[in-house]
Structure 1
Amino acid sequence: MLKAFLYKGFTGLLALLVLFSTVSFTIEKHFCGDVLVDVSVFVEADKCEMEALELLQKKTCCKDEMNVVQGQDELTLASYDDLEFEQQQFLYAFTHSYIFGLENLPKQKIPHKNYSPPKLVTDIQVLDQVFII
């Protein structure tokens, strides 16, 4: 059960890693003077009230800044034949030891499992007055 849980967890983690490495998004910031007014991801940032007044005056103190975070466009797929011989050897040895190294040990028989010791009637050492000093 633990092995299946770890397998599903690592598989999901790798899928999310591939997903987030290929996603592109835009971060838009709106500044009024030197003050940050709004930050938004994926949509346009809200403008401040000063922007409407500045359209009439043609003098602007507001500015918009856009940061585009590019994801990977292409994912390269490498085959087993593209690896060097030493890498192929290591991959084979690692896979073999992982698959066959985690086998369960056979259950061993315990011959004295159901043995109950005899009841102690008297303490022989006290009876004979023999003590180890």
Structure 2
Amino acid sequence: MSCLVLFSTLSFTVEKHYCGNHLVDVAIFTKAENCGMDLEAFATANFEKKHCCKDEIQVVKGQDKLKKSSFEDLQLKQQLFLSAFICSFINLYEGLPEQVIPHKNYSPPNLVADIHVLDQVFLI
């Protein structure tokens, strides 16, 4: 749910730089690099020369109106259910007063021989 809210409110720009009819650069979140043809136009500013380059900017706006609700906006039945659910959920994970050891009174059998040494099975 949080990813849905994040992507629906995300806004970004896509900039494209064309030189003639050819796409030179596409940039998201940053400025698109130009092809250098604009620098010639500045150097020869006294000549009336048309620029062959153009920039396109597309702005994708995300949603900016989010509904914010609080606990007081809920009905009384919904408030009671929510508070009872939270209390029961918190009490569900209470710790035990002491650690329970299930095999505390169990005594292991007497070893007659060390089976690992007899069978020569070792962990390496």
TM-score, normalisation: structure 1: 0.49
- Deviation of the 1:92 alpha carbon: 2.1
Q: Secondary structure at the match of 2:32?
A: coil
CA 1:86/1:65 → structure 2, altered by over 3 Å: closer, same or farther?
Answer: farther
Of 21, 31, 35, which aligns to 1:48? Answer: 35
Q: Secondary structure at the match of 2:23?
A: strand
Matched residues in 1 for 2:104 and 2:78: separation? Answer: 49
Q: Secondary structure at the match of 2:57?
A: strand
Higher relative contact order (CA 8 A, sep 6+): 2
Residue in 1 aligned with 2:86?
95
Residue in 2 aligned with 1:67?
58
- Deviation of the 1:83 alpha carbon: 1.7
CA RMSD of aligned residues (A): 4.2
CA 1:17/1:63 → structure 2, altered by over 3 Å: closer, same or farther?
Answer: same
Residue in 1 aligned with 2:17?
30
Amino acid at match of 1:47: N
Q: Retained in 1: the 8 A contact 2:13–2:57?
A: yes
Q: Secondary structure at the match of 2:69?
A: coil
- Deviation of the 1:96 alpha carbon: 1.9
Q: Per residue, is there more helix in 1 or in 2? A: 1
Of 68, 72, 84, which aligns to 1:77? Answer: 68
In structure 2, stretches of 5+ residues that fail to align are 43-47, 111-124
Matched residues in 1 for 2:9 and 2:102: separation? Answer: 61
Matched residues in 2 for 1:72 and 1:66: separation? Answer: 19
- Deviation of the 1:82 alpha carbon: 0.9
Matched residues in 1 for 2:21 and 2:81: separation? Answer: 57
Residue in 1 aligned with 2:107?
116
Corresponding residue pairs, total: 105
**Identity in percent:** 55
Of 58, 69, 90, which aligns to 2:50? Answer: 58
- Deviation of the 1:23 alpha carbon: 5.9
Q: Retained in 1: the 8 A contact 2:38–2:51?
A: no
